[in-house]
Amino acid sequence: MLLELKNVSYTYNKDTSFAVNALENINLQISEGEFVGVIGHTGSGKSTLIQHFNGLMKPTDGQVLYMGEDIWQEKYDLQALRSGVGLVFQYPENQLFETDVLTDVMFGPKNQKLSPEECRERAVNALRRVGLKDKYFTASPFDLSGGQKRRVAIAGVLAMNPKVLILDEPTAGLDPHGRDEILGQIRKLRDEMGITIILVSHSMEDVAEYADRLIVVNDGKIAFDDTPKAVFAHYKELEAMGLAAPQITYLMHELKERGLDVDINAVTVSEAKKSIEKALAGRKKH
Amino acid sequence: MGIIKAIKLGFDYIKYGEDDKDNEKVRAIDGIDIDVEKGSVIAILGHNGSGKSTLAKHINALLLPSEGTMWVDGMDTKGEEDIWKIRQKAGMVFQNPDNQIVASVVEEDVGFGPENIGVPTKEIWERVDQALERVGMTKHRKKSPNRLSGGQKQRVAIAGVVAMRPDCIVLDESTAMLDPNGRKDVLDTVLDLNRKEGVTVIMITHYMEEVTRADFVYVMDSGKIVMQGTPREIFSQVEKLKSFHLDVPQITELAYELKKDGVDLPDGILTRDELVSALCGERTEE
Ligand SMILES: Nc1ncnc2c1ncn2[C@@H]1O[C@H](COP(=O)(O)OP(=O)(O)OP(=O)(O)O)[C@@H](O)[C@H]1O
Ligand SMILES: Nc1ncnc2c1ncn2[C@@H]1O[C@H](COP(=O)(O)OP(=O)(O)OP(=O)(O)O)[C@@H](O)[C@H]1O
Ligand SMILES: [Mg+2]
Ligand SMILES: [Mg+2]
């Protein structure tokens, strides 16, 4: 098993009157090459959860294992863990700090002690992968628009060539093309390089389209852990948790109610299209 | 003249070089003409870096035009003596709720703006009470903002703007960090202000579903307005929008794809209801 959480609980400000139980007894296994989506209402515990995967947060209770090893055992190399498990934070643009974009993205590889040429090459590749135009490479990160900064921040983690890539809402604030481009690139990293992806998102449409497994966090607990289709079939329960299903799910249910024989489990535009066309063809025959 | 009007608006960011001679200009918006009718709901779309935030910052005089003129309720934003009046008329809510909250108690945060402009204490509290009521946050008024969810924090930020009694609220991707419920919450809150109090709403968003709730849409590209019209007019032009790195709502996309395959549907379908009636309507006629 690549990553495993065993009975993990986390309490902020433990033993004070401000204590918040952010995670309660989480058990989770993630295998190599999976594309896992994580959804949950704001404050449900998603960010807290994923920071356990690369040892940025230490569970108040329970164990975190990476390739079978307890990351909190004595003398465990957390530094190595963090270059293997890359984390793109929520609001990552708050962490840009170098004077120009390229230097900023080279920061990670430099820490990995690569040669200057290699660092540069990694940085340039990563920036191209996130679709930032070459003309911005020498710009100050502070002079970029919101979405441009986001791309730089993602490139910074990609440049470290991680084995597991965790992204906390990477597409919030990206334009539709940028969103498709970045998620498409992430999917390619998984398909071509076998990188394991964990994607936290508030977009039900995006996880439906890209993830092959979906974890739903609700009040610090795991409410569902299944394929997106199976999870979105519980759309009424999801709504009670502050979530929703993709627009397509609602549409398919309404069409079915109105007598069109469609597949109510379709969650993406292309699935819906196929199913509707089939149902329409069936209706003509009758 | 509408409440927000711009003629030939242009803005350059200046990058300062070593020497004054090396200063470089970056044209962020260029020749913008807009005229927003009082009481309307406007959406502004555009890819990352197209100039939306730069335009928005002209509406409350955070930026002043390098060229052309911006009027807010008839006041030229370049007239220095009007700047506080203008900021009162047009309030801004930004993307990241954490960067907008200044006080450690919700009600103090909401009262901060009015206090700053010298509103008498008694009236400040009246305004705070009203504003909190308006956004449905009265029961959280004594809480610390950092104990609220993202959607709740955004509602506090909106209350802070409401307490200034603005005629116009500008939302610059204010829902980008929120879960589906939080997004709906924020949108319903401002649309309610629009309906009941005639507040003009200008929303910048990358969520195409939200745009369907606007009366009128401006599309920006490279600092210019390249399309304008009702949501239906705009979303009927799928290919053109895609050429500007934008998209259409999923339902519109699905309808467009079905139509391309020969299913008989009208152009520019925006909502589920419309698509359901278009597909199933004939059954009731039979
Ligand atoms: N530093 C902190 N101190 C105290 N409580 C915290 C802290 N950070 C988070 N919390 C609380 O822990 C819970 C889980 O927060 P977390 O940030 O993991 O949620 P999330 O699912 O990532 O939310 P969002 O979608 O808004 O990012 C929330 O109740 C939150 O208020
Ligand atoms: N402070 C700044 N200094 C120099 N250039 C800037 C600055 N802020 C923005 N720009 C540039 O101005 C252009 C317009 O930026 P703006 O922030 O208005 O875009 P936007 O449409 O709001 O983008 P986004 O969707 O990413 O928020 C971009 O090319 C950006 O790089
Ligand atoms: Mg989070
Ligand atoms: Mg912006």
State pLDDT tens for residues B197-225. 899 999 999 999 999 999 999 999 999 99
Q: Render pLDDT for B156-181 as a digit per residue (tens, 0 to 9).
A: 998 999 898 899 999 999 888 788 88
pLDDT at res. B285: 45
The reply to whether B257 falls in a domain is no
Residues with CB under 5 A from ligand 3 (ion): A 47, 90
In order, the DSSP letters of B106-140 are: HHHHHHHHHHHTT--HHHHHHHHHHHHHHTT-GGG
The residues in B 35-94 lying below 8 A from A, measured between CB atoms, are 46-50, 53
Report which protein residue has its CA nearest ligand 1's atom 1. A12
Residue B285 resides in a domain: no
Contact A178, A151 (CB under 8 A): yes
**Whether residue B89 has pLDDT greater than 80:** yes
Q: Is residue B270 part of a domain?
A: no
What pLDDT band is residue A95 in, cutting at 50, 70 and 90? confident
Query: Which residues in chain B have Cβ-Cβ distances shorter than 8 Å to A135?
Result: none
Backbone angles phi, psi at B161, to 5 degrees: -75, -40
Q: State how far the alpha carbon of A263 is from the alpha carbons of A250, A268, A286, in Å.
A: 12, 12, 18
pLDDT, one tens digit per residue, over B227-269 is: 999 999 999 999 999 999 999 999 999 999 999 999 999 988 9
Q: How many residues does chain A have?
A: 286
Name every chain B residue with its beta carbon within 8 A of the beta carbon of A43. 149-150
Is B15's Cβ below 8 Å from some Cβ in A? yes
Q: Which one of A172, A244, A254 has the shortest CB-CB distance to B180?
A: A244
Q: Is the pLDDT of residue B283 over 60?
A: no
Which ligand 1 atom is nearest residue B148's CA? 31
The ligand 2 atom at the shortest distance from the C-alpha of residue B50 is 21
CA distance B219 to chain A (A): 12
Q: ∠ CA(A126), CA(A129), CA(A134), 5° rounding?
A: 80
Residue A146 to residue B53, Cβ atoms within 8 A: yes
pTM of the model: 0.89
Q: Give the total number of structural domains in chain B.
A: 1
Query: Which ligand lies nearest to the CA atom of residue B222 in the structure?
Result: 2
For residue A286, what pLDDT band results from cuts at 50, 70 and 90?
low
The ipTM estimated for the assembled molecules is 0.85
d(CA B255, CA A273) in angstroms, rounded, equals 9
Question: What pLDDT score does B273 carry?
Answer: 93
Measured from CB, residues less than 6 Å from any atom of ligand 1 are A 12-13, 20, 22, 40, 42-48, 90; B 147, 150
Give the integer Cα–Cα distance in Å for A59 and A70. 12
DSSP SS3 for B64: coil
- pLDDT of A96 reads 79
Q: Is A202 on the interface with B (CB under 8 A)?
A: yes
Contacts of residues A168-172 at CB distance under 8 Å and 24 or more positions apart, as own/partner, are: A168/A46, A168/A47, A168/A50, A168/A87, A168/A88, A168/A89, A168/A90, A168/A200, A169/A90, A169/A200, A169/A201, A169/A202, A169/B177, A170/A88, A170/A92, A170/A199, A171/A201, A171/A203, A171/A206, A172/A90, A172/A202, A172/B95, A172/B176, A172/B177
Q: A41 vs B96: CB contact, 8 Å cut-off? A: no
Distance separating alpha carbons of residues A40 and A55, to the nearest angstrom: 21
Q: Nearest C-alpha of chain B: how many angstroms from A118?
A: 29
Distance CA A185, CA A130 (A): 7
For residue B281, being part of any structural domain is answered with no
Residues 6+ apart with CB under 8 A from B123: B114
Structure tokens at A166: 């965790």
Answer yes or no: is B277 within a domain.
no
Which pLDDT belongs to residue B109?
A: 94
Q: What is the C-alpha to C-alpha distance for residues A86 and A95, in angstroms, rounded to an integer?
A: 15
Q: Which of B206, B247, B252 to mutate to test the interface with A (most CBs of A within 10 A)?
A: B206
In a domain, B274, yes or no: no
Section A149-175 average pLDDT: 90
Which atom of ligand 2 is least distant from the CA of A173? 25
Q: A142 in contact with B at a CB cutoff of 8 Å?
A: no
pLDDT 10s digits, B48-85 = 999 999 999 999 999 999 999 999 999 999 987 888 88
Q: How remote is the CA of residue A75 from the centroid of ligand 3, in Å? A: 30
Hey, is A130 helix, strand or coil?
coil
Decide if B262 touches A, using CB distance below 8 A: no
pLDDT at B99: 77
Domain harbouring B98, CATH code: 3.40.50.300
pLDDT interval class at B286 (50, 70, 90): very low
A183: tokens are 């998620």
Give the domain range for residue B130. Answer: 4-248
Collapsed DSSP state (helix, strand, coil) of residue A268: coil
CA B185 to chain centre: 15
Residue B278, domain member (yes or no)? no
Decide if pLDDT at A146 tops 80.
no
In a domain, B213, yes or no: yes
Percent of chain A residues topping a pLDDT of 90:
73
